[in-house]
Amino acid sequence: MVKFKKGPSKKIFTKGQQRLVLKEVKKYVCANLPKTKIYMKRIFGSLATGKFGKYERKFKRRYYSDVDILFVVSDNFKSSKKWKLEFKPNDILGKVYRRDVVNVEIGKSIITIDMDYAILPITYTKKPGVMEFYESIGFPLRRKSKNKFIRV
């Protein structure tokens, strides 16, 4: 089982601020999508659940929640050389990249938000146990997932 580190307390952004973040993230992702067949694009995690915010102290090199994005892609997908592989802890978990950052104007401040891309080849998602594993750790891989997500 994969264990994710729980972060420090955070001040949750207002719904309006979270909508601004979502708008900018979607705009960035759509303008910079990988050049491959993409079967699924979903934002999940704190932005999808309404818990996006600012940490009370720095956590994992950042002050704000990150944005988690799931892509199910063609089997011949090649990542950009500038993408940093964040983790690949075991055979069942696909590759997760710290892909990029997006700057968002919130009030009079510009904040920098990290985006993590989980990349799964389409045939990989059909392996026994993959759907169940991803659903159990919060990834919305099923069409009617119990985990909240926003389509990109």
State residue 1's pLDDT score. Answer: 46
State residue 47's pLDDT score. Answer: 97
**What is the pLDDT averaged over residues 64-78?**
90
Q: Can you tell me which residue has the tokens 């389509």?
A: 151
Q: Residue 92, by phi and psi: left (phi above 0), alpha (psi -120 to 50) or beta? A: alpha
CB proximity list for 100: less than 8 A, separation 6 or greater: 28, 32, 114, 115
State residue 58's pLDDT score. Answer: 92
pLDDT tens-digit map of 113-152: 999 888 888 888 888 888 888 898 899 999 899 999 999 9
Give the helix ranges, DSSP H, for 14-102.
15-31, 46-49
pLDDT at 102 > cutoff 60: yes
Q: Quickly list DSSP for 68-93.
A: EEEEEE-TT----TTPEEEE--SSSS
**Domains parsed from the chain with CATH numbers:** 10-78+90-151 (3.30.460)
Percentage of the chain lying above the pLDDT 70 cut: 88
Average pLDDT, the chain: 86
State residue 45's pLDDT score. Answer: 94
**What is the pLDDT averaged over residues 13-30?**
95
Total-model pTM: 0.87
